[in-house]
Amino acid sequence: MFDPASLRFDGHGLIPAIAQDADNGEVLMLAWMNEESIVRTLRSGRATYWSRSRQAFWTKGESSGHVQELVELRLDCDRDCLLLLVRQTGPACHTNRRSCFYTAVRDGTETEIMAPAL
């Protein structure tokens, strides 16, 4: 059985979690989880992170409706990072863009490569 306690959490009890679109492979965001948020995510099938700024559980989309349905949870070789394959409803980013990684460095300059959804 998978035991979330067997993962390697940092000094704050957190582990980084990458959310990736299960359908097209787009990297949507990185957020943080603690042990209990992993349990909640697996139990509910909805990505549930730990908000470091609010120091509270954060079920993605609970206010915006932009939920992330968990397709598969993966862990890395060092057991200190998670990869969540998800079905993302609406934009993942709070700026209303599909992905949080909408800024590219091109020719040494920050370039916006993704517009907010209308």
**CA–CA distance, 20 with 15 (Å, rounded to integer):** 16
The dihedral sign for the CA sequence 97, 23, 113, 46: positive
**CA–CA distance, 118 with 35 (Å, rounded to integer):** 36
Contact flag: residue 1 with a copy of itself (CB under 8 A): yes
Task: Please give the residues from 44 up to 63 whose contact with a copy of itself meets the rule CB under 8 A.
Answer: none
Contact flag: residue 109 with a copy of itself (CB under 8 A): yes
Among 58, 75, 86, 88, binds a copy of itself (CB under 8 A): 75
Closest CA to 99 of 32, 33, 19: 19
Contact flag: residue 29 with a copy of itself (CB under 8 A): yes
Sequence letter at residue 51 = S
**Nearest-approach distance from CB 46 to a copy of itself, in angstroms:** 15
Is 100 annotated in a binding site? The answer is yes
**CA–CA distance, 85 with 25 (Å, rounded to integer):** 8
Is 3 annotated in a binding site? The answer is no
Asked if residue 49 lies in contact with residue 40, where contact means CB atoms within 8 angstroms, the answer is no
Binding annotation for Mg(2+): 76, 78, 80
Residues that bind a copy of itself (CB under 8 A): 1-2, 16, 18, 20, 24-27, 29-30, 42, 72-78, 81, 83, 93-95, 97, 100-106, 108-110, 113
